[in-house]
Amino acid sequence: LSTDERGRIAVNDHLQTAVPHIYAIGDVVRGAMLAHKAEEEGVAVAETLAGQKPHIDYNLVPNIVYTWPEVAGVGRTEAQLKEEGRAYKVGSFPMRALGRARASMDIDGMVKILADAQTDEVLGVHMVAARAADLIMEAVVAMEFRASAEDIARICHGHPTYTEAIKEAALDATGKRAIHA
């Protein structure tokens, strides 16, 4: 097996090593060291071995840090969008303005949505909040289906819930329309 400059096992786009019929996944290959990324890679290898043509969109693998409050993000960051020269808009919402967070005394943090300036397609969602590891999954699903910030803003979210912060950030991204800001 060969390794890259950081000592990780080198693999191709199908997670195959330089040795035929040997695949590598998870922490020993390029990318984030996340259990859920490794799980997706394991499924992809199994599908490859079964003759299928799997694909993993690494842009949609959520990054999660289990601190308190939790930190989570998916997609592009502002730094990446600036580096790419891509025009984008930002919507954010502070957890302290969210009824459920106030009732639970978990008011630290915020949700930020980054959307394409022209198409409104959601390019990234980042948050620091209680339950961010769970909340980020709404963003992953939205991005999988190439939703716009307006699409998220128009979804009826239960009240009071933590997920309302995502809707509020989407409303903020689409004309600074957040209801509870």
> What average pLDDT is seen over the chain?
97
- Which residue segments constitute the domains of the chain, with CATH numbers given? 1-56 (no CATH), 67-173 (3.30.390.30)
Catalytic residues: 159
Rounded to the nearest angstrom, the gap between the alpha carbon of residue 2 and the centroid of all alpha carbons in its chain is 30
Phi, psi (degrees; rounded to nearest 5) at 35: -60, -40
Strands (E), the chain: 63-65, 70-75, 88-94, 110-116, 122-129
For 28-38, the pLDDT digits (tens) are 999 999 999 99
pTM to 2 decimal places: 0.92
Q: From the first residue on, what is the mean pLDDT of each consecutive set of 10 residues in the chain (181 residues)?
A: 94 94 96 96 97 96 97 98 98 97 96 98 99 98 98 96 97 92 75
